[in-house]
Structure 1
Amino acid sequence: MIRLDNISKRNGHRVIFIEASAALQRGEKIGLVGPNGAGKTTLFRLVTGEEQPDEGNVLVDRGLSVGFFNQDVGEMSGRSAVAEVMNGAGPVAEVGAELASLEAAMADPARFDELEAIIERFGDVQARFEELGGYALDGRAREVLHGLGFSQEMMDGDVGRLSGGWKMRVALARILLMKPDVMLLDEPSNHLDLESLIWLEKFLAGHDGALLLTSHDRAFMNRVINKVIEIDGGALRSFSGDYEFYEEQRDQNEKQQQAQFERQQAMLAKEVAFIERFKARASHAAQVQSRVKKLDKIDRVEPPRRRQTLTFTFAPAPRSGDTVATLRGVDKRYGSRVIYQDLDLMIRRQERICVLGINGAGKSTLLKLVTGTSAPDAGTVTLGGSVKMGYFAQHAMDLLDGDRTVLETLNDAFPLAAQSSLRGLAGGFGFTGEDVDKVCRVLSGGEKARLVMALMLYDPPNFLVLDEPTNHLDIATKEMLITSLREYEGTMLFVSHDRHFLAALSNRVLEVAPDALHSYEGSYGEYVARTGREAPGLHE
């Protein structure tokens, strides 16, 4: 269906692809992986024709319909969300637009003399619209939007009033409704809550067409893809299987390559030692010459490319009291909407509590009540003895000073810390070399999240409250964070839609439901096993 044939591509002085080849066949669902900046977005643009390779060819089968979703959704306003979604449904949308135009023409007295021709054309267009399933389009559009978390009110409201995250869901729904032969999805799992993410997994698993996607959510990748294409050092490498299999295969290949490299290096050292020892002896001249020629002809095995691994180790946090936070008789409402009524909750030392609940249930509100950033309408919220809190809020990245560099930001927060210590901290969160001199204004969402995390964790609190800490983070940074937090000895209260993160760190689950707050002892994995669902909004 789509072939990349020996493509090469530069961006300024930076080489992105060197004689790289890959293919997307019918029915394949491919996860595109590689470090940030490796060229994933460039590859999408090459496939869509937005960019051209410097060398080589991008071959797309004639007549193939391609739908491309990316983070740049453009302007949306002036119509309802459901109309915006239907407008992108491919040929059926164009036929529907003509049908509406013909209906208007039939009612226009000024065009009465054309009525016969208009009616005839209307019949043909109506038949085509019916053939394409046009009359079911509104229902299908609403079904997709509902799956992505929209209420009926939001579907029929002006799309221009929606936030950026909800507009991205509209743009994604447009591609899903279109059902093209090939879907190109660049980070479709961003901005989705857990229920919407699980719905999207099922939708994509049942999609008949081919799929090429990127995602920082490994659980999502594992459920959807059956092949991985890795961008590594300008090359494209293909692996059959899901993301987990790809990781195992890649590690195995690297170990084999390292072993081959070491064997060859030992052999080369032996040959060089022989040449050095006997090169001055006439009696061994033929043997020496033979070995020199042999070394010249050997194909050298390269060592595996060193991958950047992020590592951060917590300094020991001061011990808190056994009771970390207590909520008694708490009421909280926004206008006429009741979020909590007569809520009692105790958080104990070393609990790692993940908070689940459907969109708008009050997950972030609970975190705000505990941290004191929102006051209860009634009742009390009390922190325990010796509690030192760290709070990662969804808006925390907006508070960075855009004119300060990464290193200056760390210096401002910790003026007494040694430069070597702060550079080590920056490196642990992925800011190496010249990255520390970037001003905050130019940082990506993921880089800002990493910097905020570094600021919070350098002088570690004993009570971490994290609201969607994994948003914007790539898989490598998430793994570093999970590894670090596993060693953390303090208490955690967190919201995340990343199931790998939830399963790895939780030992208690709070489910925010309309009637009450339900508590489950045990990890997220145990919660899933006990309830038979991965999220509160899902039922068997």
Structure 2
Amino acid sequence: MLSLNNISLTFGDQNLLNGISTLINPGERIGLVGPNGAGKSTLLKIIAGEITPDEGAINTSKEATIGYLPQDGVDPDPTCTVYEEVERAFGEIRNLEQQVRQKQQQVSQLDKESPHYQQAMDQLGTMQSKLEQSGAYTLQSDIEKVLMGLGFTPGDFNRSTTEFSGGWLMRIALAKLLLQRPTYLLLDEPTNHLDIESLRWMEQFLKNYEGTVIIVSHDKAFLNEITNRTLALDRGDLHDYAGNYSYYREKDKERQEHLRKAYQNQQKEIKETQEFIDRFRYKASKAKQVQSRIKKLEKMDKIELDEHEEEISFRFPPPERSGAVVMKLEEIRKQYDSNVVFDDLSYAVDRGDKIAVVGPNGAGKSTMIRIIAGLEDFDSGNREPGHNVTTSYFAQHQADELELDKTVFEIMREAAPKAKETRLRTILGCFLFQGDDVFKKVSVLSGGEKSRLALARMLLMPANLLIFDEPTNHLDMQSKQILQQALEQYEGTFMIVSHDRDFLDPIVNKVLEVRPNTTNTFLGNVSYYLQKVEERENSGRDVTGSGPPSTSSGSNGQHGLSRKEERRLEAQKRQKKYARLKPFKKKIDPLEATIEQKEARKNEIEQLMAAPDFYEDEERVKEVSLEYEKLKAELVEVYAEWEKLAVKMSEIEEEFSSD
């Protein structure tokens, strides 16, 4: 059992932790939640022994071990390969193996009749038993299983750690920690650098974990899947809830309601008491009662409402209408050195698509959306934007491009010179820049703050195609909800690379799965996609993932086939798919043209009917109104026919994608 006893910590004039105490029991799965800045990461560091509190203590048994994964800042040995770096976590086991070998050498040199022989044999038996219990004999397979579960391929094991990006280095650190199996496993935002497949593996691993797990995460679905208890930090206090994140939210809402009522009652009491004091302050006969009430007010513990109670919302400005096809990629080839990311990639984005882009890290998700955004060159093929398409793009690296000498507010003002100050401040408030925070220089912002500012700036730029690469990594629950609600109401088209299922599910209508040299489209949200993937796995089809981008060459196709043969088979497959799709495409193209024509006329009539003098001519009103109703009825029929064809075409696309 691990106990927190009266833990207090002050930063400047802020009481970050205000004498908090709790017991953490063996085997619990705990979600540690709270708004940004509440002290969640700090509390994990105190438990891990990296920060000493001003007051209080952490107590646990001598046998217990504590493992901690920070949000960032891991620093592996640059001289090690991936496998060697992970193996370093087991130095004690390797030392024990060396001691066993030395003891075996010693025993082999002793005379069996010697009095020291039996003593040495007993020592060797004890050491071998300890070695067996340590898991040494399964260590290699355990390391390989965890690395592959986190997205590495066998070919990555002998690559130098210097070849990997920061996100992959975090996975290496996570692998080391999971393999050490500490009694208390502390994870600070462990999902930020995982793709959906690694996330699913991680969930299963943690469900079966023998020790206690404490997780800080803004991924609601992940917390709901793993945790059975929630500790909520709020203005220095720790509230305890016997359930997962959704349970906490429900009970916290009830707590806030009780708190609000208590606050209102207290304010009423304060007002009445103050009125009595003001009325009788100078009456000698009431002096004793007045003094009594003054002391009562002074001793009263004032109830404060939580700051996050305030509701904030944001809406995108209505985008201009684009053409029916927003973006078309045809036979795109993209290669980095000897690594072919895409060969003959074709994909179309239609108006109104809300697309989640998923797949293993390194398969080309970010490369593909950068090509669509017009920010990435390609070796061959064609990129064709649709009519009247304007694009706005966000990725984490854009935070590094902000001008360091500008303030937060100046960055926003430059992006939208004509916007009202209240609107700029509202958007900044949505992304946790409140009060004087808007006057901070970019140079003093943390990496997460810069990322949030870059996202806020992007949202000011009017566009009908929004493209996001991991927009939620540095957002708290409230900010994610604000962005989610805004995207639900957004009338344009968007694509989002993300692994956050809870964020994506309510807002997307398609899932684009990107795998090495292939893409699959699923009509539905991410939960539907995961269901289909599970069915595909159970049916025995190949759904293996890909590791991080490699500089070494290798086959992108089927084993045992030459590249020329692969291309011939792929060409046959495309021709067969084209033949199947052709009759439907012949029907759907004119339907889309009809829809566009009728929608345009419908918009004209709506503008006409909005004119103040329209209703002065009764005959004209009757004529136009009849046309308007007829148009709406015709559009319902045309859309129904279009949807039937689109569904059939998607079924054919999926059939060929899964072959």
With the length of structure 2 as denominator, give the TM-score of the two structures: 0.73
The residue aligned with 2:221 is 219
Q: Partners of 2:290 and 2:170 in 1: how far apart?
A: 67
Q: 1:330–1:79: structure 2 CA closer, same or farther, 3 Å change rule?
A: closer
Q: Select the residue among 494, 505, 508 that pairs with 2:507.
A: 505
Q: Tell me the secondary structure at the aligned position of residue 307 of structure 2.
A: coil
SS of alignment partner, residue 261 of structure 1? helix
Of 79-88 and 382-391, the range deviating more from structure 2: 79-88
The 2-side partners of 1:155 and 1:175 are apart by 17
Aligned to 1:155: 157
Bigger radius of gyration? 2
Match of 1:64 in 2: 64
1:30 counterpart residue number: 30
Answer yes or no: is the 8 Å Cα contact 2:328–2:385 preserved in 1. Answer: yes
Task: Give runs of aligned pairs for residues 236-251 of structure 1, distance below 5 A.
Answer: 236-251=238-253
Distance in 2 separating the partners of 1:84 and 1:341: 34
Q: Report what 1:340 is aligned to.
A: 342
> Which residue of structure 2 lines up, in the alignment, with residue 204 of structure 1?
206
C-alpha deviation, 1:243, in angstroms = 0.6
Are the counterparts in 2 of residues 86 and 177 from structure 1 also a CA contact under 8 Å? no
Alpha-carbon distance between aligned partners in 1 of 2:254 and 2:510, rounded to the nearest angstrom: 35
Alignment check: 8 A CA contact 2:41 2:216 kept: no
Contiguous gaps of at least 5 residues in structure 2: 111-115, 538-542, 546-657
CA distance in 2, matches of 1:285, 1:128: 81
Deviations 1:36-61 (A, max 9, x none): 22222221222223332222232222
Tell me what 2:182 maps to.
180
Q: Which amino acid aligns with 1:463?
A: L
Distance 1:286 1:104, change over 3 A: closer
Letter in 1 for 2:142: R
Which residue in 1 is equivalent to 2:376? 374
**1:390 paired to 2:392:** yes
DSSP-derived class of the 2:505 partner = helix
Q: Which residue matches 1:165? A: 167
How has the CA–CA distance of structure 1 residues 414 and 533 changed in structure 2, closer, same or farther, with 3 Å as cutoff? Answer: farther
Describe the superposition over 1:78-106 as per-residue Cα deviations: whole angstroms up to 9, x where unpaired.
222222222214xxx31422434775899
Between 1:392-401 and 1:270-279, the stretch displaced more is 270-279
State the partner residue of 2:361: 359
Q: How big is the shift at 1:172?
A: 1.0
Opposite residue 130 of structure 1, the aligned amino acid is E
The superposition leaves residues 438-493 of structure 1 with CA deviations (integer Å, 9 ceiling, x where unpaired) of 22233223212211112211132111011111222222221111111111111101
SS in 2 for 1:188: coil
- Once residues 342 and 84 of structure 1 are traced to their aligned partners in structure 2, the CA distance between those partners, rounded to angstroms, is 37
Structure 1 residues 131, 419: CA separation in 2 closer, same or farther (over 3 Å shift)?
closer
Aligned pairs for 1:394-409 (under 5 A) are 394-409=396-411
The alpha-carbon deviation at position 320 of structure 1 amounts to: 1.7
- Residues of 2 paired with 1:270 and 1:533: CA distance? 66
Task: State the AA in 1 paired with 2:68.
Answer: F
Provide the C-alpha distance between the structure 1 equivalents of 2:395 and 2:498, rounded to a whole number of angstroms.
Answer: 12
Shift of the 386–78 alpha-carbon distance from structure 1 to 2, 3 Å rule, reads same
Task: Identify the residue that residue 92 of structure 2 maps to in structure 1.
Answer: 94
C-alpha distance in 1 between matches for 2:476 and 2:298: 42
Unpaired runs of 5+ residues, structure 1, are none
Which aligned pairs between 1:126-525 and structure 2 lie closer than 5 A? 126-266=128-268, 302-307=303-308, 310-514=312-516, 516-525=518-527
Distance 1:394 1:534, change over 3 A: farther
Are the equivalent residues in 2 in contact too, given 1:394–1:468 (CA < 8 A)?
Answer: yes
The CA deviation string for residues 301-335 of structure 1, in whole angstroms up to 9 with x for no partner, is 62432216553222222222222111223333444
Which of 11-20 and 196-205 deviates more?
A: 11-20
AA of the residue aligned to 2:87: M
Secondary structure, counterpart of 1:41 in structure 2: helix
Instruction: State the SS of the aligned residue for 2:199.
Output: helix
1:227 offset after TM fit, Å?
A: 0.8
Q: Distance in 1 between matches of 2:75 and 2:521?
A: 42
- RMSD over aligned Cα atoms: 3.4
Q: Is the 8 A contact 1:309 1:476 kept in 2?
A: no
TM-superposed CA distance for 1:431, in Å, is 1.4
Task: Provide, for residues 127-173 of structure 1, a one-character-per-residue CA deviation record: whole Å limited to 9, x for no partner.
Answer: 43223221211111111111111111222222233222212111111
Cα distance change, pair 163–263 in 1 and its aligned pair in 2 (3 A): same
2 CA distance for matches of 1:443 and 1:105? 57
Contact 2:322 2:464 in 1 (8 A): yes
Report if aligned partners of 1:339, 1:361 keep a CA contact under 8 Å in 2: yes
The C-alpha deviation readout for 1:215-258, integer Å capped at 9, x for no partner, is 12111111111111111111111111001111111111101221
Please identify, of 144-153 and 268-277, the stretch whose mean Cα deviation from structure 2 is larger: 268-277
Q: Which moved more, 1:195-204 or 1:152-161?
A: 152-161
- DSSP 3-state at the match of 1:505: coil
Change (3 A) 1:295 1:326: same
CA distance 1:167–1:296, change in 2 (3 Å)? closer
| Alpha-carbon displacement from aligned partner over 1:282-317 (angstroms, at most 9, x marks no partner) | 9x9799889959976996662432216553222222
Query: 1:482-517 CA deviation, whole Å, 9 max, x = no partner?
Result: 111111111101211111122021111222245642
Provide the residue aligned with 2:39 in structure 1.
39
Q: Quick one: structure 1 residues 29 and 533, their matched pair in 2 at CA, closer, same or farther if it must change by over 3 Å?
A: farther
What displacement does 1:176 show? 0.6
Name the residue aligned to 2:80: 79
Deviates most, 242-251 or 261-270 = 261-270
Q: In the alignment, which residue of structure 1 is the partner of 2:6?
A: 6
Distance change >3 Å, CA 272–CA 473, structure 1 → 2:
closer
Amino acid at match of 1:191: H
Point out the more displaced range, 14-23 or 95-104: 95-104
Give the partner amino acid of 1:190: N
Distance of 2:536 and 2:473 partners within structure 1 = 19
How many residue pairs get matched?
A: 530
Worse-matched range after superposition: 246-255 or 11-20: 11-20
Secondary structure of the corresponding residue to residue 395 of structure 1: helix
**Alignment CA distance shift 1:368-1:450 (3 Å):** same
Matched to 2:4, the amino acid is L
| Identity value in percent | 37
Residue 69 of structure 1 and its aligned partner are, at CA, apart by 1.5
- The code of the aligned residue for 1:82 comes to Y
Deviates more, 1:201-210 or 1:340-349: 340-349
Higher deviation after alignment, 160-169 or 93-102 = 93-102
The offset of 1:270, in angstroms, is 6.0
